[in-house]
Amino acid sequence: MARAGFGSYQSYTRQRKRKILLLRILRVLLTFYIAYLLIDGLFFKTFLIQTDSMNPNFQKEDRILTVPLFYEPRLPLIPWPLASFRAPIRGDVVVIQPPYVEDESPLVTFVKDLSRLVTFGYFTPFQDPDPSKHLTIRRLIAVPGDTVSLRGGIAYIKKSGDEFFLSEFEISEKLYDVLKLSLPNGWESRDPFSGEQVEITLKDDEYWVLADNRLGEDSMVWGPVKRKNLKSFVWLTFWPFSRMKLQ
């Protein structure tokens, strides 16, 4: 009887140690996951460019490092945006959610982030197979209060209160090139991707974005985008190593 009791005591002790070890492991994993969410959701998020829409400044398969903190970042399971580091400025390259794509639920975002963490970014559930509904990158051309038009594929911007238009290169705070390809015969100026756009004045919370490759889908098709569609500031191209540069 004594030996049976002693054996029962040892079994209970082992079970208790296992529970304590399991709780410690769970605490470590939870701490690591929270740290990952903060870093990925606020400070640094990687992004793979999957199209040629930002040629010649970005190439397909470039990997870039972005900073969500610049543009009112959102964390999983938190329904409201956090304070931004600074306002978007002309010339910024930004990660864009196309305006026709609906926001995903906080729970879906949570599951996607957790899956990316566990699989080291190789698997993301709930990913829409339609590439046009994925996040993409575009250049911020005009901000609220600006009047913008396009002529020959080049944007011209008049700041609020100014009298004259300046080209996007004169008014931008960044240096970049654009790619304007020849259009098919018979393509009219009112057609999409014609490189022509009548003057439009941006309201509060409206931004105008363009692809550096002016045949890419952008505000010429979408119209102005809202601040909530600006997801992250593109800071660095880090791969391939030969193309590494700050933006």
- What is the end-to-end Cα distance of the chain in Å, rounded? 76
pLDDT, one tens digit per residue, over 189-227 is 565 666 677 889 999 999 999 999 988 889 988 999 999
**Residue among 134, 131, 99 nearest 219 (CA):** 99
Residue-averaged pLDDT of the chain: 81
pLDDT tens for each residue of 133-171: 778 999 999 999 999 998 888 999 999 888 899 999 999
Determine what percent of the chain falls in helix, strand and coil, rounding each to the nearest 5: 30, 25, 45
Instruction: Kindly write down the DSSP assignment for every residue of 38-92, as one continuous string.
Output: HIIIII-EEEE--SSTTTTTS-TT-EEEEEGGGS----TT--SPPPPSS---TT-
Taking the CA of residue 179 as centre, how many other CA atoms within 13 Å lie in the half-sphere pointing to its CB? 14
Domain borders along the chain are 1-43, 47-246
The pLDDT value given to residue 1: 46
One-letter amino acid identity for 180? K
